[in-house]
Amino acid sequence: MLRGAISDLHFTVHDVFGAGDDRVVARWTSTGRHTGEGLGRPPPGEPVRSDGIVIFRVDDAGLAEQWSAVQFGR
Kindly report the pTM of this predicted structure. Answer: 0.79
Answer yes or no: is pLDDT of 74 > 60. Answer: no
Which whole-number Å values give the CA distances from 69 to 26, 50, 52, in the listed order?
A: 11, 10, 5
DSSP string for the chain:
-HHHHBTT-EEEEEEEEE-SSSEEEEEEEEEEEB-SS-SSS-----EEEEEEEEEEEEETTEEEEEEEEEEE--
pLDDT exceeds cutoff 90 at 61: yes
Q: Name the residue ranges covered by the structural domains of the chain.
A: 2-72
* CATH architecture of the domain covering 2-72: Roll (3.10)
